Every structure is written in structure tokens, then in C-alpha cells.
Structure 1
Amino acid sequence: MTGRDLPDDIRDLLALDLLAAQVQDWSIASDSFTWTLLAGDSERGHELATLTYVGAVVLHTNRRHLDRAVEVAAEVVGSEVVAAEGGGFEHRVTLGPAHAFVIRFWSVDVRRMPAPDHLRRTR
């Protein structure tokens, strides 16, 4: 999904390089889903990206899977944002090795901040 006609928040989400980003934390509150990912590498530098999806429904996963993703610092191996049928968007995510789920949402708040290299966990 590309294009200048996309809302700013979707362009912000698409600008993130989430491949190999590690899951740090997640939460669900009311109609929002938030998770924090450690993106980047030692060459480019790391950043913490906190993504809050508003009007969110998380499909094909559960709390146990998300807790486990934090525990093992699961890495993003696939990330795609598409327009959802009936309006809104879907963020289709695959965590390694092969746990795929979908976040269906209306808008997203993307917050980024530099992070020290030592936050990256090795397996």
C-alpha cells in the first residue's frame, strides 16, 4: 500500500521498518491495541516504536500468544498494511517463526524514540 492520498497516520506506520523488530510490550484497553517494538539494528541504530491502533480488533491471536511473544522477544518476519473491507485498515503481522495475526483498525498513533543497543535481546 502506497500513495500520497493515504492518511498521515497510515503513512507514518508504513514508514517504519518493522522487519526483525522485537516485541517488547503490549496492552489492550477499550477499543485500542498498543504494542511496543524495538526496531532497527546496531548499524542504523535502534528505536522503540509504540503503535496504538484505535478502533482495533485483534484477530487470530490471544493473550497467551502475545505474552509469549514478549517473553521470547519474538521478531517480526512479515508486516503488511492493507485497506480493510468495509473501511479502515488491517495490519497483517507475522511473528517468527510463523505466528500470523491481524490488527483491524480505523486509525493508528505511531510514536518513535531512539533506544540503546543493549535493549535488543539475543536468543
Structure 2
Amino acid sequence: MIRSKRPWRHTFQVALEGIWYTLRTQRNMQVHLGVMFAVTGLGLALGLERTEWFWIGLCITLVIMAELFNTAIETVVDLVMLNPHPLAKIAKDTAAGAVLVAAVFAVIVGVILLGIPVWKLLVN
């Protein structure tokens, strides 16, 4: 096995480059980031408890991770498949489905943790 002589910080640098690439090029990642800031602001305004922040953080992490994996899979498929292929479509659609599953979970958690307190504020 060949060992890399790259410095440890290089690991973080390439990871951040991947995140930055996805943020710059993927509209959905930009939407996810905007929602993340909105939810964080709302959570701060509502004074969420520690366990509620855990669930919010988990949801944000899952959605961002799913979007990063989706971008990676779509990029590799586009690289190796010069012509459309049914299996390439399945790979890309399945990766997009993973993002949808994570996002739906995040919305459900968000409605439970944020929707109810916001509704109570609006009603009173």
C-alpha cells in the first residue's frame, strides 16, 4: 500500500474544496444553506432546548451530506457516461431520492420543533 506524504491539513483542504464546489454550483445546496440559516435564526429566537438543537443539527447534517453525495455521484456518472444510459439515470435518480428523503425528514422535524411554537405565538 502506498502512503501519502501529504500534510494532514490537506485532508481538510480538499474536503472544504468539495463543499465549496457544491455550494457554488448546485442550486439545491444553496437553498439548503439558506433554509439552514433561517431555521437556525428561528431556533435562536424561540430559545430551543439542547435536545431540540440536536435534532435540528442532525437534520442539517443529513441534508448537507446527502446533497454532497448526490453531487459526487452525479459528477462521476456524467464523467463516465458520455451518452445517456438507463443505469446512469437510475444512479442519479437514486442519489437525488436520498436528498429528498433527508429533506422530508428535516421538514417533519422542523414542523414538530419549530412549527408548533410559531403557531402558538401567532395564535396568542
The answer to which structure has the higher strand fraction is: 1
Same fold, TM-score > 0.5, yes or no: no
Q: Which has the larger radius of gyration?
A: 2
